[in-house]
Chain A
Amino acid sequence: MSFATTKFAHPIPLSTTAARSNDHKPFLDPFKATRFLGSTHKFRFHPLTNSNHTNIHRRSAVVAVSDVLKAKKPKSTSNLLITKEEGLELYEDMVLGRAFEDMCAQMYYRGKMFGFVHLYNGQEAVSTGFIKLLKKEDCVASTYRDHVHALSKGVSPRAVMSELFGKTTGCCRGQGGSMHMFSSEHNVLGGFAFIGEGIPVATGAAFTSKYRREVLKEADCDHVTVAFFGDGTCNNGQFFECLNMAALWKLPIVFVVENNLWAIGMSHLRATSDPEIWKKGPAFGMPGVHVDGMDVLKVREVAKEAIGRARRGEGPTLVECETYRFRGHSLADPDELRDPAEKAHYATRDPITALKKYMFENNLVSEPELKAIEKKIDEVVEEAVEFADESPHPGRSQLLENVFADPKGFGIGPDGRYRCEDPKFTEGTAHV
């Protein structure tokens, strides 16, 4: 799919973005303290309304992934999409996501967690399909439906469950909650309560990656950012503004739309003038791809290409994953609006069942192996709950911590000392 970029307007020759090897010294020189893609006046002389250009995008976008795969003649003897190890990894990740979310529902109804909790059941293929291809240094930004993104990225189930219980051992010390899962170790950039809020943050992380490479001269920095968000967000200004900036500066980012057709009770079709979200990519100068988000292998194939593009410096991609959430919008949502027939239809496309079927049909795994994984995950989730139960609640002294990275920001008190030096502050009893 990289042919697309050579054809439409980019003043910088492809070689500068494609070559990654360390001995290709000159590639860095064009960027030395002068012009780069987004700003050069040369842009004006390449009409972007060239019909060639749009056709090429359409050509790369419309093809269903499964068709592409059939067309490819695999060189290896196996024409399977995954190896056994990969299959087991994907299966385990999806089962973890499902079991964890089911446990969250149980715990919520038992009064262990409160507030707004949004569960990911049914959408596991998207999270697993993308995140399992990322390195630890790659970043992920999500929305309020973020438990499984955090788990897929490597945050431990204990930390996530504790966070949901509001305990100090949670990944955010209990201060964030369900909608704010962060992990600096695993580069999970959140967890955002307002939709669309995380997309600029993800764009910023991608900007840092480009900055590291081009300004700080860290030539091997090819970190990619993946931003997850829903269909409702695709009508929000921040989405469009970031598509523009990411394409303009060729940021290493993948925009993943988890189109589950519903924004709480608002059907995507009722809210959007043109419901085909993938089409909005080419409008901004990036490929737009539509994929079946209930099939982890299809998602994975598209993800490989999109992440590869970003890593090679070819710019962003918009991937629309058609998926479905089996539960309501949140645990407070009675979910009465959706047609039971629709729910039944998508239940037959359960991604975990689909992967299992694929692996059995291709003799990749045996039943006991999968059962062992399921049992292991059950134990992991149970243990996470136990850990969270036994963890302490945050003490009073935690109230004023973390408001500022530098607590001098609380200012100088009447006695001349910085307020953060006041012992009442560390006890959490001072009034800010």
Chain B
Amino acid sequence: MAAVFQGLGAATALSVSNSLDSRKFLVSSRKSLSERKASFLVVRSDGRVVPRSNARGRRAEQLITNAVATKPDSSAVSTTSKPGHELLLFEALREGLEEEMDRDPHVCVMGEDVGHYGGSYKVTKGLADKYGDLRVLDTPIAENSFTGMGIGAAMTGLRPIIEGMNMGFLLLAFNQISNNCGMLHYTSGGQFKIPVVIRGPGGVGRQLGAEHSQRLESYFQSIPGIQMVACSTPYNAKGLMKAAIRSENPVILFEHVLLYNLKERIPDEEYICSLEEAEMVRPGEHVTILTYSRMRYHVMQAAKTLVNKGYDPEVIDIRSLKPFDLYTIGNSVKKTHRVLIVEECMRTGGIGASLTAAITENFHDYLDAPIVCLSSQDVPTPYAGTLEEWTVVQPAQIVTAVEKLCQ
């Protein structure tokens, strides 16, 4: 019971989108909070869901019998034409990369250990043998300079893909990414374009320690002139990789360390995913859950539980972290009137924070409840497994948050 309380307490602290900390909520005299507290206590003390409001009653009538979709809808559409082939996410990235390198000889890769070593997560395995050491360039450990070199190469006609061995290393390249990558097209009056793709694994892994567990999307999001996308399935990994390479804009492609071994069947024929569009993972009626990257899987796991409890969540993988696909998101908000954002970024200044602002700005009138944003705690990711688990959002917290939101 104590553990449950702790978990729920943490969830509440995270899910309240204004600035309360977990201790304050127990003694707060705020009216809205005590209302929530009362309902929350009911759930907690029973350990079971208690039917409460009218809204809940209505929902119980619409029995949701279908299981949660484990594959994104778009792939269901696309795999009907041919049987397709099965592969892991890192192989999908490689396939996309290889297809683009075959298609355009100006596409090249540079990064640490991308060549002979095949990439620290094997995304570029075998490519150096096929394309040569100049096209798949093993760089010295000098992120700022080889990122700048990639930018200079892009300005003069090549299309480099710059790999950060871990996204966190790109903090060293922030100078080049912000000043040159993002701004150079503008300051040159449109004379030079920077069609680079900057990619690499980020996110919280399995006890990798604080510095290898960073979420750079929150740091880069303010840079004008760049696009950011996050892949989450083999299908969209390949599609986004190809789209990013073909784009004339600089694109930062965020991969996640824990998702590289996801397996999926993807189409044999060529396809790309739109860089600006979000992906509808599971249509629903009761609540919009916006997520991306690894948290998508926590959300889908939570969705299974929610479906069993009679909820019908709509899950959208936003994919495009900058700019946001306000159309897909907006349509969903207009349908469900409740929004839950589940992200891995830190509480402060993350993608969720920006998304909350964007939705509030654009769709305020359609909201029946304040937007709830579940993010990681504002702590350096601890090494200890138990602590690490508590810094990121877990499915149980998502379930609780949806239940609270849907009262």
A→B interface (CB under 8 Å): 31-36, 38-39, 139, 141, 170-177, 180, 182-184, 187, 189-194, 197, 199-205, 207-212, 214-216, 237-238, 241-242, 244-245, 248, 401-406, 408-416, 418-419
Contacts and interface: CB of A to CB of B under 8 A. Distances in A.
With a 10 A CB-CB cut-off, give which of B144, B176, B363 has the most chain A CB atoms.
B144
Contact of B225 (A208, A214, A244, A404): A404
Given A35-B133, A245-B142, A409-B227, A197 B179 contact: yes
A192 B155 CA distance: 14
A38 B136 CA distance: 12
A241 B112 CA distance: 14
A411 B326 contact: yes
Contacts of A203: 145, 148-149, 152
B134 A214 contact: yes
A282 B140 CA distance: 18
A190 B184 contact: yes
B211 interface: no
Interface in B77-110: 105-106, 108
A200 B146 contact: yes
A409 B148 contact: no
Contacts of B194: 405
Interface stretch (B9-17, B55-63, B265-273, B317-325): B317-325
Given A197-B148, A412-B323, A412-B327, A38 B156 contact: no
Contacts of A403: 185-186, 224-225
Nearest to B116: A39
Contacts of A212: 157
Given A180-B187, A201-B180, A411-B324, A405 B277 contact: no
Contacts of B134: 31, 36, 210-211, 214-215
Given A241-B140, A404-B249, 19 more contacts: A34-B132, A175-B189, A183-B191, A193-B179, A200-B152, A203-B148, A204-B156, A207-B152, A211-B108, A211-B134, A211-B153, A214-B134, A216-B106, A245-B149, A405-B248, A411-B276, A411-B325, A414-B362, A415-B327
A418 B176 CA distance: 28
A172 B191 contact: yes
A121 to B, nearest CB: 25
B215 to A, nearest CB: 21
A112 B326 CA distance: 42
Contact of B248 (A202, A402, A406, A410): A406
Contacts of B328: 412
B131 interface: yes
A207 B133 contact: no
Contacts of B184: 190
Contacts of A31: 132, 134
Interface of B: 105-106, 108, 115-116, 130-135, 138-140, 142, 144-158, 175-176, 179-180, 184-195, 224-225, 227, 247-249, 275-277, 320, 322-328, 330, 362-363
A194 B179 contact: yes
Nearest to A177: B187
A223 to B, nearest CB: 9
20 contacts: A31-B132, A39-B133, A139-B156, A173-B189, A175-B188, A182-B188, A197-B180, A200-B147, A200-B176, A204-B154, A211-B134, A211-B153, A237-B145, A245-B146, A245-B149, A402-B186, A403-B225, A405-B190, A406-B248, A409-B276
Nearest to B106: A216
Contact of A402 (B147, B175, B189, B327): B189
B403 to A, nearest CB: 29
A412 B326 contact: yes
Contact of A38 (B133, B192, B276, B325): B133
A241 B142 contact: yes
A201 B189 contact: no
Given A405-B248, A418-B276, A199 B132 contact: no
A405 B249 contact: yes
Closest 8 CB pairs of A and B: A204-B152, A200-B148, A411-B323, A172-B189, A173-B189, A201-B152, A182-B188, A241-B145
B229 to A, nearest CB: 11
A210 B155 CA distance: 15
Given A241-B144, A404-B225, A405-B248, A208 B190 contact: no
Contacts of B147: 200
A202 B149 CA distance: 7
A206 to B, nearest CB: 8
Contact of B132 (A33, A238, A402): A33
B152 A202 contact: yes
Contact of A215 (B105, B142, B148, B176): B105
B189 A189 contact: no
Contacts of A177: 187
B128 to A, nearest CB: 8
A23 B82 CA distance: 49
Contacts of B157: 208, 212
Contacts of A191: 187-188
B105 A216 contact: yes
A32 B130 CA distance: 10
A208 B146 contact: no
Contacts of A413: 326-327
Contacts of A205: 152-153, 155-156
Given A33-B132, A204-B150, A403-B225, A414 B189 contact: no
A194 to B, nearest CB: 6
Contacts of A416: 327
B371 to A, nearest CB: 16
A238 B131 CA distance: 28
Nearest to A401: B190
A194 B176 CA distance: 10
B369 to A, nearest CB: 20
Contact of A404 (B158, B179, B185): B185
Contacts of A193: 179
With a 10 A CB-CB cut-off, give which of B108, B152, B158 has the most chain A CB atoms.
B152
Contact of A204 (B115, B148, B248): B148
A140 to B, nearest CB: 12
Contacts of A402: 185-186, 189-190
Given A189-B155, A248-B140, A197 B130 contact: no
Nearest to A223: B156
A197 B176 contact: yes
Contacts of B175: 194, 197
A216 B134 CA distance: 11
Nearest to A419: B323
A415 B362 CA distance: 11
Contact of B158 (A170, A184, A211, A242): A211
B145 A245 contact: yes
B133 A200 contact: no
B224 to A, nearest CB: 6
Contacts of B362: 414
